Amino acid sequence: MSLDVLGILFSSAVFLVINRWGLGILHTEIFLAGLTLVSICYLMVSMLRPARSLHLRLLLTIAFAVLATVIPTISNMQERHRTLPQNFVNDSAMQAEIAGRYLLLGLNPYSTPYDKSDLAKWPYIDEMGNKTNPALFNNIHPPFLLLVSAAQYRVFAQLFAWSDIRVVYLLAYASLFVLAFWKFGISEKTLLFLIFGALNPLLTTFIPEGTNDVMVLALLLWALFAAEKKSFIISGILLGLAMGTKQTAWVAAPFFAYWLWKQQPAKAFRQFLLSTILTAGAIYLPFFVWHAEALIKSLVLYVTTDPRAQQFIHPIEGIGFSPVLPKLGVVKSLYSTFPFWIIQIIAYTVSFLLYWLHTKRGSKEEKNVLFFMAFGTLMAWYFSRYFLQSHLGYIITLFTFSYFWDQKKIS
């Protein structure tokens, strides 16, 4: 059995288990049976000669993505539009939408609270039974995501009388397929790149809910692809946009910059660095001038949980290092303060030192920088106050893309 068939069957099995008995996107028998049928068809087509079956397998891969990601996302958007704004969406996407509308109204999304908005109706409750959502008083989304949110609201509200930021996330997801075909053409590498990366159940499961990791993932991959094509200014612009989208790009950027500095002439690196700084500066500077304290509190101090900078502290939660501390009695409760940022800095520094040692051995492949971008993000996120399943999905997807990015031989 070939690797792509194993990948499809694995993705199908994990996705169906998650959605039938776990998180749940669509529990309807038609949806579950349809996804299973695509997997069966793929298995049957794979028995043909590889050269003759390649186009069919690529079409079935796209069909799998449509069934597993696009249709559930559209279904959630439709159900939300038919019911209430707080239904069929997570609080992260909902806050980004409201923040975008704040911008259109001339309100600062980092200093204006959300307790009077529809976000207050979102059914939040943590493990201790607290129903006060920290997102009502802290907006941790960087400015570019909010600007995109405002733009999509302006366009879709006028054209269709409704809007949903997940339209943008679907476009980012679709761009991964465009990137794969542009980079690898019609080939087995495209197939594996998509099956093990874009069809990763830990990525696709969270897009319909409104998780935004796919957007920064797409920007980072396109930035690397542009650098690979010697378009250093475009690469820098894309990295700057990624840094304006989510803090995970902040963690990835030093690895990216160091790799480019080692690989390219000084002039190319200066073009890249200048375009990155100008793009990120154009995104952040207006908000810094508008209200510097609110911006820093929202994007930095809240993430590192400085108790002096916030009224509501995000509870310790997830699948990382932090939930162990209450169990061991190191902290008293999920709301206790702890200097996670010290451990994060140490772990991240170690990851960068490992990358430096790796480059000293003369390894130059692009996949290595993707690997260490993922590894550095893992170190920073695992030791944070909260490390969720969607975060792990993003990191594993980045690891997977790193494997297939420069793979010379496939089987």
Long-range contacts, stretch 389-393, CB < 8 angstroms, 24+ apart:
389/202, 389/206, 389/318, 389/319, 390/202, 390/206, 390/211, 390/213, 391/213, 391/318, 392/202, 392/319, 393/200, 393/201, 393/202, 393/203, 393/205, 393/206, 393/213
Q: What is the pTM of this model?
A: 0.92
In Å, what is the CA distance from 88 to each residue of 98, 163, 393, 406? 16, 14, 20, 38
pLDDT tens digits for 146-162? 999 999 999 998 888 88
Tokens of 398: 């980045």
Burial 133-168 (b: 16+ CB within 10 A, else e): bbbbbbbbbbbbbbbbbbebbeebeeeeeebbbbeb
157 domain-assigned: no
332 domain-assigned: yes
How many domains does the structure of the chain reveal? 1
Tell me which DSSP letter residue 309 carries.
Answer: G
Question: Cα–Cα distance between 262 and 356 in angstroms, integer?
Answer: 10
Residue in this structure with the two tokens 């969406």, named with its chain if needed: 89
Tokens of 62: 């796209």
93 domain-assigned: no
pLDDT tens digits for 162-201? 899 999 999 999 999 999 999 999 999 999 999 999 998 8
Whether 187 and 180 have beta carbons less than 8 Å apart is answered as: no
Burial 180-201 (b: 16+ CB within 10 A, else e): beebbeeebbbbbbbbbbbbbb
73 domain-assigned: yes
180 domain-assigned: yes
Residue type, 142: P
Residue type, 378: L
Burial 284-299 (b: 16+ CB within 10 A, else e): beebeeebeebbebbb
57 domain-assigned: yes
Which residues, listed in sequence order, are joined to residue 386 by a DSSP beta bridge? Answer: 317
Domain that residue 201 falls in: 3-82+166-405
Residue 257 makes CB contacts below 8 A (sequence gap 6+) with 272, 273, 276
CB atoms inside a 10 Å sphere around CB 209: 20
Radius of gyration, CA atoms only, the chain: 21
Tokens of 290: 């508008």
Question: Which among 392, 3, 410 is positioned nearest to 200, based on CA atoms?
Answer: 392
Whether 98 and 114 have beta carbons less than 8 Å apart is answered as: yes
99 domain-assigned: no
Residue 156 makes CB contacts below 8 A (sequence gap 6+) with 162, 163, 164, 167
Tell me which DSSP letter residue 313 carries.
Answer: P
Tens-level pLDDT at each residue, the chain (411 residues): 688 888 888 888 877 777 665 555 455 667 778 888 998 898 899 888 877 889 999 999 999 999 888 988 998 899 899 999 999 999 999 999 999 999 999 999 999 999 999 999 999 888 778 888 888 888 999 999 999 999 999 999 888 888 999 999 999 999 999 999 999 999 999 999 999 999 988 888 889 999 999 999 999 999 999 999 999 999 999 999 999 999 999 999 999 999 999 888 999 999 999 999 999 999 999 999 999 999 998 898 875 544 444 455 778 888 999 999 998 999 888 888 888 989 999 999 999 999 998 887 766 566 689 999 999 999 999 999 889 888 999 999 999 999 898 765 544
174 domain-assigned: yes
DSSP 21-46: HSS-S---HHHHHHHHHHHHHHHHHT
Rounded to 5°, the CA angle 284-215-395 comes to 105
pLDDT, position 337: 83
